[in-house]
A and B are shown apart, each in its own frame.
Chain A
């Protein structure tokens, strides 16, 4: 069956450091992978989309890598800030107009 796995444990880092979150998937051949941020009680907010032929994509302090051989995406936040504290979700889209999400990784950035 198709699975998307993210670090289940919360990630605690110090302000200014780089946070790295992992997304692994099985039984998918995705054309692209998406990352979302979710704050408590709110809907997910789209951050980045990376296509299968893109190794890396950047947006401001965010960087995503996509390795279709390893079936893995890494999500980096550089120079992290307390405001970056949230849950980060990776998602793959199947052919049926549906997003399948990982359970998310909770990030806490402390001053």
Chain B
């Protein structure tokens, strides 16, 4: 079956701009979560969605937002980009998330965002 698809793969934006990243989960998976990965901080949780509802949000400023559609596809948006937002943004999907995820999470290849 197809894996988790993230688009675009690479993105270069200017400070102050906004960006939208897309994630298509594995068919049948209803939980989608987003992570930011930087060399200094490692992988950090951004938010998680299940059936179009945000169930949890990490410790990131309000400039980071997301949503999930009825087909489980998800988008995340970052407004007023800062240099420090340069990172690899990863999306992960699972059937239901949480303590029922005994088979782990499936990650996409990520979107590499560079802010200049």
Contacts and interface: CB of A to CB of B under 8 A. Distances in A.
Interface in A68-93: 89, 93
Contacts of B110: 41-43
Interface residues of A, number: 24
A49 B108 contact: no
Contact of A98 (B4, B48, B88, B109): B48
B42 A103 contact: yes
> Interface size class for chain B?
20 to 34
Given A49-B102, A97-B48, A98-B33, A41 B112 contact: yes
Interface in B71-116: 88, 90, 92, 97-99, 101-110, 112
Contacts of A89: 43
Interface string A22-61: 0000000001101010000111111101000000000000
B98 A93 contact: yes
Interface of B: 4, 31, 33, 35, 42-43, 45, 48, 50, 55-56, 58, 88, 90, 92, 97-99, 101-110, 112
21 contacts: A31-B99, A32-B102, A41-B110, A46-B103, A46-B104, A46-B106, A46-B107, A49-B102, A93-B99, A97-B31, A97-B48, A98-B33, A98-B58, A99-B33, A99-B43, A99-B45, A99-B92, A99-B105, A101-B42, A101-B43, A102-B42
